[in-house]
Structure formats: C-alpha cells, structure tokens
Amino acid sequence: MTDSPTPSPLELASRLIACPSVTPARGAVFDALEAMLKPLGFNVLRTIDGDAPSGPVENLLAVRPGPEGTRHFAFAGHLDVVPAGDGWTSDPFTPEVRGEMLHGRGAVDMKSQIAAMVAAAARIPAEAGTISFIITGDEEGPARFGTLALMEHMAARDVVPDLCLVGEPTSVARLGDMMKIGRRGSVNIWLEVHGNEGHVAYPHLADNPIPRLVAMLAELDALELDDGTDWFQPSNLEITDLEVGNPATNVIPAAARARLSIRFNDLHTGAQLSARVTEIAERHGGTARPVISGEPFLTEPGAFSALLAEAIRAETGLEPELSTGGGTSDARFLKSICPVIEFGPCNATMHKRDEAIALPDLDALVRIYERAARAALALQESFARDSR
C-alpha cells in the first residue's frame, strides 16, 4: 500500500465526467487525468496526433516505472464519449449522485473505470512493478489516430506491457458476470452499381442499375459465412444502407448504392471477406470499397483470465463468463503488443440518456483492478506478444 491517502473513485469519476469530451476528446479532461496521475509518481506524455477529418486527437501515456526486472501491467481506456443527446433528467456533464447511482455521460463508458484504475494504482506500491495508463481520446470515433498512434509512441520509447486490462463495460446483469477475452473483427463495405439514366417509357435507351444491385444484395444476404467456433459466435453479414436518391417517378436512375457490415470470427480475415464481397459485386457489374476497422482476436484462457476471474470472485462472489461477444474496442489494436482482456461495469446504460454507474460497483471495481494488477505483477509466467 502507498502512504498517501487513496483517492476517492467517486471524486475522480466526477471530475472526469464534468469535462465535456465528445469524441475526439481534447484539453480539459486530459488535464484532469494528468493531475490525478502525476502525484502518484507517473510520468505523463500527452500527444496530439493526426489531421482532419479524423484528427487531431489527443492521447495520453503515463508510466510509473518499477524496479528493473519487474513486470509491467497496463490499464487502457478512453476519455472520449458519444454525444449526450436530449432528454436527460439532469445535465449530462454535471455529475450527479441520485440514490446509489452516479449519473453523467461517460459514467459507464468509461470515465468511472479510468477513475477506478487511478484509485487502484494509488494502492499499489511502486516496488511491485511498472504500471502504465494507455488512454485515448478517440475510441468512440474513427480510431485512426487514437490507440494506434499511442502504440507508435510506446514503441519509440520501448514501453511494452506484459499484460493489459481494458476497462470497457463488459458486465451484463451484475458486476462481474462477464469479461471479454476476445472480439470479432469488423469490416464495412460500400457497394455501388452504375447504369445509364433514361425515361421509364424507353427502357431500351437506359440501363437500370437497381435490379443488378438487388441481385447482388440477395446473393450477399444469403451467404452463410460459418457456424461459429469454440470461442466465437457465427460471423454475420448485415445490409445497413440502401440508397438511390431518385426524386423523379419517371426516370431510370444512373446509379444505386448500398452498404453492408460484417462482424467476423477468427475463421476469417478482413482481407479475405473483402475479396469475397468484391468478387460478388463485380460479377453483378458493381464495385466494392471495403474499410476494415479491426481483425478478430482471442486471448486464450490461461493465467491472465484466471487471475482476473479470481479477483472478480473475491469481490463479487461471481464466476465471470469468458466472452467474445458484442462490438469492438481498442483491445483489437493492443492485442498486437501483449495479451489483453476487457472488464468493467454493467453496460445497460452506455450510450443512453441518464447513463449511470452504481456506487457500490465503482468501489468494487477499484478493489478488483487492484487485485488483478497486483496478481499480474507477481506472475512468473511469460506471455506471447501477440494474441490470436
């Protein structure tokens, strides 16, 4: 334990929530976090990365070195939040405690977790090992200049954690019922078919692109990509947009467009699926423009998941489910430098109005994060630098 008083996680979370930080976050919210970490002995690097339209993005890397030869445990997360929207009971950027709940945008996703990580780090003596914070301002945005940029700064400074815990809100019904040991990959693909415009009464003088796009989408929608694996649910392809934009009732349009999204397991890569969709699109006379936002990864169950599960059991009495479900997170990038697992509070109110975390859960998170970090720093086992 450190000699200084342990910071109050409620106070820390409230200070972060009080800083409006709609993605991409910059400025005040990073000032607040830096002010929390420096008194605990962390060396703080703040960077501005990237250009418009996806940047600039502010990021923060904080390291408290341990004795030479000790292990390195990283906490990771993001300070940016989604827009608040309307209909809140109270101001979304004025933290408010009502009953046993702390309300405010970011209370669950994920300023409270960062506050809990800071409070946990304050309880761990420097001689236990190196602790770092990998904090981005762009997880909720394009994520081009967030954690990826931070990883470049880390590589330049030879900052390489042994293990990393991301504080995403993973619990479902109760704190501790689920952790994420992997995530599916994600690719979005924009489809387009061109034809020739013309009068509907003279179809032989035109080329309608819509039937070809509809046939293309029917073939894509009928694809069964796989049946899932031991740790992953089946991959799914969803058509997410369809656009012609033709205001005239008597004109055959010149072009038709659509968009689809594929969430895929580790039987595929983004490049393979992109090539498959492109082949189908071209066969129907169209084009495909894929954007891969992440590849699937799995941190195989082992010492890391076991120590985190033990920390969760000790504080909640629950046996957490090991899951790869849900959306994606910055863990998809961090997995390339060390094994990574995600764990955080109940996700029921994230991205919703009146977002809130239960105060007992916030206090329990501090204890869970402290237990997990201490156990990770005490591990003797070596880990591969790239999770599958």
Domain for residue 99, yes or no?
Answer: yes
Considering the domain architecture, whether residues 317 and 210 belong to the same structural domain is answered as no
Instruction: List the catalytic residues.
Output: 80, 139
Domain final position from 259, 294, 329: 294
Considering the domain architecture, whether residues 312 and 168 belong to the same structural domain is answered as yes
Residue 34 labelled as part of a binding site: no
Strand ranges (DSSP E) for the chain?
A: 43-49, 57-64, 72-78, 96-98, 101-103, 130-136, 163-166, 178-180, 182-183, 185-194, 198-199, 236-243, 251-252, 255-264, 286-294, 297-298, 321-323, 340-342, 356-358
CA 326 vs CA 60, 179, 323: distances in Å: 26, 11, 9
345 touches 361 (CB < 8 A): yes
In the chain, the number of structural domains is 2
Considering the domain architecture, whether residues 290 and 303 belong to the same structural domain is answered as no
Give the separation between CA 339 and CA 37, rounded to whole angstroms. Answer: 24
pTM, rounded to two decimals: 0.90
Q: Which domain holds residue 261?
A: 185-294
Q: pLDDT tens string for the chain (388 positions)? A: 444 567 899 999 999 999 999 999 999 999 999 999 999 999 999 999 999 888 899 999 999 999 999 999 999 999 999 999 999 999 999 999 999 999 999 999 999 999 999 999 999 999 999 999 999 999 999 898 999 999 999 999 999 999 999 999 999 999 999 999 999 999 999 999 999 999 999 999 999 999 999 999 999 999 999 999 999 999 999 999 999 999 999 999 999 999 999 999 999 999 999 999 999 999 999 999 999 988 999 999 999 999 999 999 999 999 999 999 988 899 999 999 999 999 999 999 999 999 999 999 999 999 999 999 999 999 976 665 554 5
Residue 74, domain CATH: 3.40.630.10
Domain for residue 339, yes or no?
Answer: yes
371 touches 315 (CB < 8 A): yes
Residue 140 labelled as part of a binding site: yes
Residue 199 labelled as part of a binding site: no
Residue 241, domain CATH: 3.30.70.360
Considering the domain architecture, whether residues 38 and 151 belong to the same structural domain is answered as yes
Residue 192 labelled as part of a binding site: no
